[in-house]
Structure 1
Amino acid sequence: MAWMAWTTETAIFFGVIAALLATFTFLAIRFPETPRTGVLGIETTRGDRLFITLLGSAFINLAWLALSGAPQPWALAICLVYAAAVFRWV
Structure 2
Amino acid sequence: MAWMAWTWPTAAFFLIIAALLVVFTVLAIRYPETPRVGVLRIETTRGDRLFITLLGSAFINLAWLGLVGANQPVALILCLIFAAAVFRWV
Query: Do both share a fold (TM > 0.5)?
Result: yes
Q: TM-score, normalised by structure 1?
A: 0.96
Matched position secondary structure for 1:6: coil
The alignment of Structure 1 onto Structure 2 pairs a total of residues equal to 90
| Matched AA of 2:42 | I
Give the drift of 1:70. Answer: 5.6
Identical-pair percentage: 79
Shift of 1:2: 2.5
Residue of structure 2 in register with 1:60 after alignment: 60
Which amino acid in 1 is paired with 2:55? Answer: L
Q: Could you tell me how far 1:3 is from its partner in structure 2?
A: 2.3
Runs of 4+ in 1 over 2 A off after TM superposition: none
1:29 matched to which residue of 2? 29
Query: What RMSD in Å do the two structures reach over aligned CA positions?
Result: 0.9
**Counterpart in 1 of 2:20?**
20
Shift of the alpha carbon at 1:51?
0.2
Which residue identity lines up with residue 48 of structure 2 in the other structure?
Answer: D
Structure 1 spans left out of the alignment, 5+ residues: none
After the TM superposition, which residues 38-57 of structure 1 pair with which residues of structure 2 at under 5 Å, given as runs? Answer: 38-57=38-57
Query: Which one has a larger percent helix, Structure 1 or Structure 2?
Result: 2
**2:11 counterpart letter in structure 1:** A
- 1:89 to 2:66 alignment: no
